[in-house]
Amino acid sequence: MNFEDYQYLFKFVLIGDTGVGKSCFLSQYVKGKFIQEYDPTIGLEFESKSIEFNDGVVVQNQLWDTSGSSQFMAIQKTFCQNAAAAIVFYKINSEASFKSLQNWINILKQVSSDKIQIVIVATNKDLEDQRQVQTSQGRDLADSLEAKFYEISNHDKDQIDGIVNSISYNVLRLINSSKINPLNTQYGVKMSRQQEQQYASQIENTDEKVIQQSPSPKRRGSDIKTEQNMISPNKISASPQRSQQEQEQTQQNQQQEKPKIQLRHILIPIIVAYVLYLIFF
């Protein structure tokens, strides 16, 4: 596979106390090999593996494995800063490693983006007889953090593959639903150059559509408004004009009619009275 034979590159960090199985998890995921001998990680290591989703999207998962030793705290913090996801480990046969979990979460909260996916993985499930941490304890903590929770044995490669692939899928969903901007490096996501161009043109097209579409209804709206404004004032001003004229006319008529009526009212009784006077006197 070429360097950029992927659309997206996701950066994940593996954190947790020393000896909890971070490097073992990484070795199983990338090489399909369980490391029997404990070889503490010095500082930082990383491995990548690409996966192809059903829709043809290829994602390169880049897993950064940090040492669990407090000596390397500065490195751990730096690499948690721009991670898409953090897999936080403890082992079921170490209560101390479970108690440390909260410290690791605190570090994450201090430095990571608010979109980071947190996944809690409890290892050494195959060592059930040595169990010190109950499944419910791990699950409750994960629930309180709205994190995913898995209890695994690092001997089980399928389960490891499933965990990493499901994290990738979730990050991809966040990108597709625009909750993560893949151009913003703080989210631990990088696009291939080709995907970046495609993404930029999609955004451009969307912007153009918005520009083309959004003014139209506005224009139509304003046209209607303008039409209404052009018609309405005329209508509004025309009506009072007509009624004013009518009123004036009516008033004139009334004024003209008024004296006629009044004169008639005055003259008729006078004439009648005069006629009666002539008849009777």
> Residue from 7, 112, 123, 168 that binds ligand GTP (CB under 6 A)?
123
Q: How many CB atoms lie within 10 A of CB 65?
A: 23
Q: Alpha carbon of 153 to those of 8, 124, 148, 187: distances in Å?
A: 29, 5, 16, 29
> Residue from 1, 73, 96, 127 that binds ligand GTP (CB under 6 A)?
127
- Are the C-beta atoms of 182 and 155 separated by less than 8 Å? no
Q: What would the two tokens of residue 29 be?
A: 């995921």
Query: What whole-number distance in Å separates Cα of residue 14 and Cα of residue 272?
Result: 123
Q: Which is nearer to ligand GTP, 102 or 176 (CB)?
A: 102
| 189: β partners | 10
> Residue from 13, 24, 121, 171 that binds ligand GTP (CB under 6 A)?
24
Instruction: Sketch the per residue contact string, 7 through 26, with Mg ion: x for CB under 5 A, - otherwise.
Output: ---------------xx---
Q: Which amino acid is at 172?
A: L
Does the footprint of ligand GTP cover residue 23 (CB under 6 A)?
yes
Query: What whole-number distance in Å separates Cα of residue 30 and Cα of residue 23?
Result: 11
Q: Alpha carbon of 11 to those of 71, 127, 234, 253: distances in Å?
A: 23, 30, 67, 92
Instruction: Sketch the per residue contact string, 32 through 71, with Mg ion: x for CB under 5 A, - otherwise.
Output: ---------x------------------------------
Residues 36-65 that bind ligand GTP (CB under 6 A): 36-38, 40-41
Residues 96-155 that bind Mg ion (CB under 5 A): none
Q: Which amino acid is at 124?
A: N
Quick one: which segment of 5-13, 29-37, 132-140, 187-195 binds ligand GTP (CB under 6 A)? 29-37
CB closest to ligand GTP, residue no? 21
Q: Alpha carbon of 273 to those of 139, 280, 281: distances in Å?
A: 117, 10, 11
Q: Which is nearer to ligand GTP, 138 or 182 (CB)?
A: 138
- Identify what 123 binds: ligand GTP, Mg ion, none; CB under 5 to 8 Å per kind: ligand GTP
| Residues within the interface to ligand GTP (CB under 6 A) | 18-24, 35-38, 40-41, 67-68, 123-124, 126-127, 153-154
| Residues within the interface to Mg ion (CB under 5 A) | 22-23, 41
